[in-house]
Amino acid sequence: MSAANLIERIVNYPAEFIWTFFLAFFWLELWTIFEWGGCREYNQRMATRDCMSPDFLHPVWGKVALSVPSTGRLLNSSGEMLDGAQTVAEAKLKTGDALTLHVRQVQLKARRKDGGSRAFAAILSDGSAVTWGSAGLGGDSSAQDQLRDVQQIQASNLAFAAILGTGSVVTWGFAPEGGDSSAVQAQLRDVRQIQASVAAFAAILGDGSVVTWGRAEFGGDSTVVQEKLRDVQKIQASYNAFAAILGDGSVITWGHADFGGDSSAVQDQLRDVQCIQASRRAFAAILGDGSVVTWGFAAEGGDSSAVQEQLRDVQQIQACVLAFAAVLDNGSVVTWGRADPGGDSGAVQIQLRDVQQIQASDCAFAAILGNGSVVTWGRADHGGDSDAVQSQLRDVQQIQASNLAFAAILGDGSVVAWGDADCGGDSSAVQEQLKNVRQIQASDGAFAAILGGGSVVTWGDDDIGGDSSAVQDQLRDVQCIQASRRAFAAILGDGSVVTWGDADNGGDSTAAQDQLRDV
């Protein structure tokens, strides 16, 4: 949406007189558009300018209510939110005051990795939330009345956790796996961010401490390390363990020992940690000097000793389920973990030069080189063999992955797919429609592409989102798409939501459709 479109939307709002007044007597100082929750938030900052005198404010205008749209928040120059029911005079506004209007759009949340969630949660533009999908696994509305002023939502496989504007947390879904936080509810205050494993949650509070809940063996019990969890900056999760980076660059881990919950063997090496990546059962940390420290299940990436001397000047690490791939500063790649699923890149090592980014399916990797070509390795039936389409992989801009296949967007907006045909590796049935593609999202076994005109093209397993024919006429002006493991949900330009795929996994939002409006 352009600045002009947003202004038109504001002006045409029922309180059009006051907004027309603002737009006529305020001058546009700054306009920024930035990514927020997968879609966009629009931040308009306006400052008054008077052509007559600095203190001029007509008495009639002073009595007019601000009438801020429910989709937005109006802040004064001090960053305080103004009451939309107040008049201009009651808000103590005067000529020269800077105002900021934040307009939120709908956000969607679901989890795909490590099995994935069976439901969706949507944060509506008024801060409320609605859920749908498998009822007992996060898709019911049991917490609906508490979901007000929701800032963000995190998902485990079978539960959700929402951070409210007050810093408190609301949870719902399968109780043993994070849907019930009653045991720690009193501690969940001033929560800043939440991370999830498959069956547990970890919340970072404003003071840098951490609160956990869910299945103990999946990281839901941090009692053993609780006193060490101070000044926590970031948390990463494997299948059932957590790793927290502290302010001093050290790391604290907990959860299942075999899945990375025990880092004692490398604890002395975990210094100046910059970031952490996780496979299913192991972690890999990049240190400030570009070296790497690994721990967890040795065979699945927890032991990098065989390539340790090569792990220098590491810029980024990507993980599949059973292996890791590190991109070095010189554009080369180092891999480790289980050999067949991508831990051994020997067959293509000489081709891995000037690597820009790497994407992973469950058991294969795909690297985009600086010249726009692609190199793949790992299990052939997971996309590790791209020989059949290699000549087409030119000027590749980005790659998306389902569990067993890859889809690449080329510079001309066309798409090349490979891997397991039934899971999206064969796009021939829709190839002619795949033009001017700007974004692709993936479920476990299907892809959904947003075209430049806002329409959507899908392919892959029909039952889990590869067939969108039942809702095709509704898929217009699509802004973004989110995926659960077996379904898709698309946000349209008017804030409404269209879903398809496995009904029990969020593909049917009929019960929530009345609420899924950009209110």
In a domain, 41, yes or no: yes
Tens of pLDDT along 458-488? 999 999 999 999 999 999 999 999 999 899 9
Q: What angle do CA 398, 400, 403 make, to 5 degrees?
A: 160
Domain boundary among 103, 118, 139: 103
Query: Do residues 125 and 71 touch, judged by C-beta distance below 8 A?
Result: yes
pLDDT band at 112 (very low <50, low <70, confident <90, very high): low
Model pLDDT, residue 52: 30
In a domain, 361, yes or no: no
In a domain, 149, yes or no: yes
CATH of the domain at 498: 2.130.10.30
In a domain, 51, yes or no: yes
Domain that holds residue 421: 386-519
Domain boundary among 221, 246, 262: 221
Distance CA(420)–CA(10), nearest Å, equals 48
Query: Do residues 325 and 363 touch, judged by C-beta distance below 8 A?
Result: no
Shared-domain flag, residues 436 and 411: yes
Whole-angstrom CA distances from 184 to 214, 222, 472 are: 10, 12, 44
Helix or strand or coil: residue 226?
helix
Shared-domain flag, residues 71 and 22: yes
Distance CA(7)–CA(54), nearest Å, equals 25
Shared-domain flag, residues 411 and 501: yes
Average pLDDT, the chain: 85
Shared-domain flag, residues 8 and 86: yes
DSSP symbol at 80 = P
Whole-angstrom CA distances from 362 to 378, 381, 384, 416 are: 10, 10, 10, 19
In a domain, 421, yes or no: yes
Shared-domain flag, residues 123 and 207: yes
Question: Which alpha helices (DSSP H) does 85-130 contain, by range?
Answer: none
In a domain, 276, yes or no: no
Average pLDDT over residues 288-296: 98
Q: What angle do CA 409, 438, 406 make, to 5 degrees?
A: 35
pLDDT band at 516 (very low <50, low <70, confident <90, very high): confident
Could you give the strand order of the β-sheet that contains 26-36, starting from the edge strand earlier in sequence?
Answer: 26-36, 39-48, 98-103, 72-75
Whole-angstrom CA distances from 347 to 130, 334, 351, 352, 384 are: 48, 13, 9, 10, 11
Model pLDDT, residue 439: 96
Cα torsion through 224, 227, 232, 236, rounded to 10: 0
Shared-domain flag, residues 487 and 466: yes
In a domain, 340, yes or no: no
Shared-domain flag, residues 397 and 513: yes
464-473: long-range pairs with CB below 8 Å, 24+ = 464/501, 464/502, 464/505, 465/500, 465/501, 465/502, 465/507, 466/424, 467/500, 468/500, 470/500, 471/498, 471/499, 471/500
Shared-domain flag, residues 77 and 121: no
Secondary structure element (H or E) that encloses residue 281, with its range: none
Helix or strand or coil: residue 25?
helix
pLDDT band at 116 (very low <50, low <70, confident <90, very high): low
Shared-domain flag, residues 463 and 430: yes
Shared-domain flag, residues 47 and 68: yes
pLDDT greater at residue 344 or residue 143: 344
Shared-domain flag, residues 152 and 167: yes
With a cut of 90, say whether residue 502 has pLDDT above it: yes
Least confident of 29-43, 116-130, 447-461, 493-507: 29-43
Q: What angle do CA 296, 297, 303 make, to 5 degrees?
A: 75
In a domain, 250, yes or no: no
Domain count, the chain: 3
Average pLDDT over residues 194-219: 97
Closest CA to 248 of 227, 271, 277, 267: 271
Distance CA(229)–CA(251), nearest Å, equals 9
Closest CA to 361 of 339, 338, 380: 380
Query: Do residues 340 and 363 touch, judged by C-beta distance below 8 A?
Result: yes
Domain boundary among 196, 221, 246: 221
Closest CA to 56 of 93, 98, 16, 101: 93
Secondary structure element (H or E) that encloses residue 61, with its range: helix 59-62
Distance CA(417)–CA(388), nearest Å, equals 10
Distance CA(505)–CA(446), nearest Å, equals 14
Model pLDDT, residue 63: 54
Tens of pLDDT along 253-278? 999 999 999 999 999 999 999 999 99
Please list, in sequence order, all residues whose beta carbon lies within 8 angstroms of the beta carbon of residue 386, skipping any fewer than 6 positions away: 366, 374, 376, 393, 406, 418
Shared-domain flag, residues 186 and 157: yes
